[in-house]
Chain A
Amino acid sequence: MHDVYDVAVIGAGVVGCAIARELAQYNLRCVLIEAGSDVGVGTSKANTALLHNGFDGKPGYLETRLVRRGYDLLSKYGAEVGIPIEHIGGLLVAWTDEQLQSLPEIRETAQINGAHNVDFISLDELYRREPYLGKGALGALEVPSESIICPFTTPLAYATQAVINGVELCLNSPVQRIETGPDYHTVHYPGGAIRTRYVVNSAGLHADTINGMMGHDEFHITPRRGELIIFDKMARGLVSHILMPVPNKVTKGVMISPTVFGNVLLGPTAEDLEDRSASQTTDAGLNSILKKGSQILPDLLNHEVTSTYAGLRSATEHGDYQIHLHPEQRYLCVGGIRSTGLSASMAIAEYALEQLESAGLRLQRKAEFLSVHMPNIGEAFTRPYQSDAMIQANPDYGRIVCHCERVTRGEIIDAANAPIPARDFDALRRRTRAQMGRCQGFFCAAEVTAILAKASGQPVEHLLSLEQQA
């Protein structure tokens, strides 16, 4: 049947985008359906931006296996397509006797998981490596492979590669209803519907809702809010590694980490909620992480805060990922991907395709699979304003517009014209860092507005969400 897709992926977060990219390698007609106005706008945009190597995962869990595998796949892919990744290593620091006593067990777990380089370091060594660390650390494990990654470029790279290889991207399309059928399913969203043989549910916080539309009920999602504080880049010299707390049952705890943009991140909180849109920060949340931060890295609090945000993780009542295949229905549910989705994304996608193939999806490789190269927004790699060659080719790369983040006019125009274009300020921020910095638009908001409006062909009122009043 001509108008039936082979696969519809519901949810363009980092997991859905990775699956779409994996599917794009095969001779299939695929569509990626997203409720939001861009890819990577749910949990994927507000997280701790770690490329986690899964050393502390529960042995035997699917999550642990996929995080371990995903780490390797994404490290390699990131280097190929230009996703900023820095392998700076982590330090797991114990501050109480109880935490200290659990370190040997964590090391043992790491051994079982194959992370053989996780080992104790002396307190002297700890303070030598992190001279600004607060007083009172009792012991530490080093996790050499732990890395930081750009959480924005990753889903964008996947989705861009999917789109240029023929996957259709359907934004602003929250799925309202799915009619299941023996030959195909019909997925309805406001103003349209598509028919598809296979359905992949990677709807993140809404994965249980979509699962329900398909007639299943294996899990329920309880959003877990994590509030985070980003400190000014001038604090970057205070910390060289990812400073991880010793985890307890609820969460990995509050950490301090450099970011690939050169800032320092503090957080997250862990608060279970029912409201799946409650991504606002709170006074109590921000204060609690500031308090913890002041113990881990006291000097950090002397620096200015650049931004605060909150993300919702899709926790369930189960410990492990909720990946369920219903072959008779040609339906794969990829739910409950908690906080490790970014690290595991490529392995989840690989695993998802194995599952789909086992349910009868025919995978025949395309003759050609186009590669992508993403604009670099990481500090560890050359950015346009630093490249004489790029500026000579296009003087707009020499015109810095966002001064705090050194984003050029050329990059803003590129983002508005990319295969998946930036249509609003948040999308632009994720692609270029424009207005992400310490002044939050004091110097450049008006200029960025003018450039984006022109380059994306939208009225300024629309960009500023002022239309209803016009």
Chain B
Amino acid sequence: MNLFETDVLIVGSGPAGLASAIELRKRGVGRVTVVDREREPGGIPRHSDHIGFGLRDMHRFLSGPAYAARYVRLAERAGVDIEVSTTITGWQSETHLTATRPDGLAEFRASAVVLATGCRERPRSARLIPGSRPAGILTTGALQNFVYIHHHPVGKRALVVGADHVGFSAVMTLKHAGADVLGIVTEFPQHQSYFQYKLVSADRYRVPLMTNQKVTNIFGKKRVEAVELTDVRSGAIQTIACDTLVFTGGWIPDYELAFSGGLQIDPNLKGPRINLQMQTSAKGVFAAGNLIHAAETADVAAISGRLAAAKVQDYLNTGKWCASSSVPIDYEAPIAWASPQAIDPGAQHAPHGHFILRVSDVLQRPTLLVKQEGRVLWQKSYRSLLPNLPIYVPDGWLKQLNSSPVRFEIRL
């Protein structure tokens, strides 16, 4: 049994994990260890081979692989210990974890732990889409791995499900692999991305946006042969012949490790519940990145990791832990989730200077309010709010709080 002793153990070497590690070392923490279950560090950007990474955290405009490589380089330079091919398998205590590695079973003991295990896309089965189960059904993550890392072939005629940033990114990946993209399907009346993203992918390749459409059946024996789409308003059905179907977006944190450690899980976000200090319900365990907001762009995840580093250092210095006495935040549909989910008394700032929210439906002319005991602390009216796009609620109102629950509300 190999024993690794360290000051801070970070699980996950994506942008959040590596940025957190670099910042901890900059702040003078002695031993910082990042573990990753993959063979290479860097996380999802490694196989997101398109431009657009690093704007907010590095003030650069890089491809995913270049961005990942840069973080790895910076971490190594900062003296971070990166252990790859290392899967954390369980918990002995809050800061004592077990692992499997090619050289045998291992244990990691630390003073604090940062979970930065990221997120994944909901596959076809989790979306409960009926039909047969042929080859050729992928998520964007699998597609990018196929095309950019392993150079495996994909089909010739593909349909993309999901019209947020990732859907448009999948179009570019499929075009790169030489496939025809027959359309981008969304059950909403409009896409949920920025027009620039649509411009460089769907518009450039003349891929039609198919709005108000839901996948309702999949046909094919060995390989996908056709997909049935149903118009969510009229019920009209059409069948599209294709050999590849890519489900994009539908993000969910990869939260099994947090769950198996007995951490409180937020039922809406499906990630560990955190307060404004990014503390989970387990003493000494912090969470950062897309594990606590699935999915923000990589740079936001990295900044989240960097912010967590300051909280971790504070905890290492003071031993202060306040997760148990937090003010909860209430909300209901159409708010899909909010992050963080609790406010520790006396906290003046949210991690990014704002709370991050998502809505579950297209909302026209909504007003978003923050209330406590009927008092309106903050409000803002929007022309529209869209699912899958970040909504940021600034944290200025934190100064006015008492200890009763805070409520996020949408008025239409």
Report if A and B associate in a common complex: yes
Is the Cβ of B102 less than 8 Å from the Cβ of A464?
no
User: Among the listed A302, A385, A438, which residue makes an inter-chain contact with B89, where contact means beta carbons less than 8 Å apart?
Assistant: A385
Bound CA–CA A439/B122 (angstroms):
7
Bound CA–CA A446/B139 (angstroms):
11
- Closest CB-CB distance, A54 to chain B, in whole Å? 31
A391 CB–B CB distance under 8 Å: yes
User: Among the listed A385, A440, A445, which residue makes an inter-chain contact with B146, where contact means beta carbons less than 8 Å apart?
Assistant: A445
Q: A398-B100, A446-B142 are in contact. List 9 more A-B contacts (CB 8 A).
A: A280-B130, A285-B130, A308-B125, A391-B103, A425-B135, A439-B254, A441-B139, A450-B150, A464-B223
The segment out of B57-65, B152-160, B186-194, B316-324 that lies at the interface is B152-160
* A-B CB contact pairs (8 Å), 23 listed: A233-B256, A280-B130, A281-B130, A304-B126, A305-B128, A385-B87, A388-B1, A391-B102, A391-B105, A403-B37, A406-B89, A438-B256, A440-B123, A441-B123, A442-B139, A443-B141, A445-B138, A446-B145, A446-B146, A450-B150, A464-B135, A464-B153, A464-B223
Report chain B residues within 8 Å CB of A234: 256, 259
Give chain A's interface residues, CB within 8 Å of chain B: 233-234, 279-283, 285-286, 302, 304-309, 385-386, 388, 391-392, 395-396, 398-400, 403-404, 406, 425, 438-443, 445-447, 449-450, 460-461, 464-466, 469-470
Bound CA–CA A441/B37 (angstroms):
15
Bound CA–CA A470/B216 (angstroms):
29
B252 CB–A CB distance under 8 Å: yes
Give the interface size bracket for B toward A: 35 or more
In chain B, what residue has the closest Cβ to A287? B128
Report chain A residues within 8 Å CB of B243: 466, 469
Most chain A Cβ neighbours within 10 Å, of B139, B152, B243: B152
- Closest CB-CB distance, B59 to chain A, in whole Å? 30
A279-B132, A469-B156 known; A388+B102 contact, CB < 8 A: no
Report chain A residues within 8 Å CB of B252: 304
B222 CB–A CB distance under 8 Å: yes
Report chain B residues within 8 Å CB of A438: 123, 126, 256
Give chain B's interface residues, CB within 8 Å of chain A: 1, 37, 85, 87, 89, 100-105, 120-126, 128, 130-136, 138-139, 141-142, 145-146, 149-150, 152-153, 155-156, 216-217, 222-223, 243, 252, 254, 256, 259, 267, 270
A234-B256, A281-B130 known; A439+B152 contact, CB < 8 A: no
Is the Cβ of B100 less than 8 Å from the Cβ of A386?
yes
Report chain A residues within 8 Å CB of B123: 438-442
A306-B126, A460-B152 known; A391+B139 contact, CB < 8 A: no
Bound CA–CA A326/B345 (angstroms):
82
User: Among the listed B120, B136, B256, which residue makes an inter-chain contact with A464, where contact means beta carbons less than 8 Å apart?
Assistant: B136
Report chain B residues within 8 Å CB of A302: 267
Report chain A residues within 8 Å CB of B122: 304
A280-B132, A309-B133 known; A441+B142 contact, CB < 8 A: yes
Is the Cβ of A400 less than 8 Å from the Cβ of B136?
no
**Number of residue pairs A-B, CB distance < 8 angstroms:** 134
Most chain A Cβ neighbours within 10 Å, of B1, B87, B155: B87
Report chain B residues within 8 Å CB of A469: 155-156, 243
Bound CA–CA A28/B133 (angstroms):
39
Report chain B residues within 8 Å CB of A392: 104
Is the Cβ of B131 less than 8 Å from the Cβ of A461?
no
User: Among the listed A388, A399, A404, A442, which residue makes an inter-chain contact with B105, where contact means beta carbons less than 8 Å apart?
Assistant: A388
Is the Cβ of B153 less than 8 Å from the Cβ of A395?
no
Is the Cβ of B130 less than 8 Å from the Cβ of A283?
yes
Most chain B Cβ neighbours within 10 Å, of A234, A285, A445: A445
Report chain B residues within 8 Å CB of A391: 100-105
In chain A, what residue has the closest Cβ to B156? A469
User: Among the listed A386, A440, A465, which residue makes an inter-chain contact with B222, where contact means beta carbons less than 8 Å apart?
Assistant: A465
Bound CA–CA A450/B145 (angstroms):
11
Bound CA–CA A400/B150 (angstroms):
18
Bound CA–CA A383/B134 (angstroms):
29
Is the Cβ of A440 less than 8 Å from the Cβ of B153?
no
User: Among the listed A280, A307, A398, A461, which residue makes an inter-chain contact with B125, where contact means beta carbons less than 8 Å apart?
Assistant: A307
Is the Cβ of A447 less than 8 Å from the Cβ of B145?
yes
Report chain B residues within 8 Å CB of A442: 120-121, 123, 139, 141-142
Report chain A residues within 8 Å CB of B37: 400, 403
Is the Cβ of A305 less than 8 Å from the Cβ of B152?
no
In chain A, what residue has the closest Cβ to B243? A469
Is the Cβ of B150 less than 8 Å from the Cβ of A449?
yes
Report chain B residues within 8 Å CB of A395: 102-103
In chain A, what residue has the closest Cβ to B98? A386
Report chain A residues within 8 Å CB of B135: 425, 464-465
Is the Cβ of B128 less than 8 Å from the Cβ of A308?
yes
Is the Cβ of B104 less than 8 Å from the Cβ of A398?
yes
In chain B, what residue has the closest Cβ to A281? B130
Report chain B residues within 8 Å CB of A398: 85, 100-104
- Closest CB-CB distance, B329 to chain A, in whole Å? 19
Bound CA–CA A391/B101 (angstroms):
8
Bound CA–CA A447/B125 (angstroms):
21
Bound CA–CA A442/B152 (angstroms):
15
Is the Cβ of A447 less than 8 Å from the Cβ of B150?
yes
In chain A, what residue has the closest Cβ to B224? A465
Report chain A residues within 8 Å CB of B138: 441, 445
- 9 closest Cβ contacts across the A-B interface? A440-B123, A446-B145, A395-B102, A465-B223, A398-B102, A445-B142, A442-B141, A465-B222, A280-B132
- Closest CB-CB distance, B144 to chain A, in whole Å? 9
- Closest CB-CB distance, B244 to chain A, in whole Å? 9
In chain A, what residue has the closest Cβ to B252? A304
Bound CA–CA A413/B150 (angstroms):
18
- Closest CB-CB distance, B214 to chain A, in whole Å? 11
Bound CA–CA A309/B130 (angstroms):
9
In chain A, what residue has the closest Cβ to B223? A465
In chain B, what residue has the closest Cβ to A280? B132
- Closest CB-CB distance, B44 to chain A, in whole Å? 10
In chain A, what residue has the closest Cβ to B85? A399
Report chain B residues within 8 Å CB of A450: 150, 152
In chain B, what residue has the closest Cβ to A282? B130
Report chain A residues within 8 Å CB of B152: 446, 449-450, 460, 464
Most chain B Cβ neighbours within 10 Å, of A305, A442, A460: A442
Is the Cβ of B87 less than 8 Å from the Cβ of A406?
yes
Report chain B residues within 8 Å CB of A396: 102
- Closest CB-CB distance, B89 to chain A, in whole Å? 7
Bound CA–CA A460/B135 (angstroms):
12
Bound CA–CA A385/B222 (angstroms):
32
Bound CA–CA A264/B133 (angstroms):
20
Bound CA–CA A440/B37 (angstroms):
17
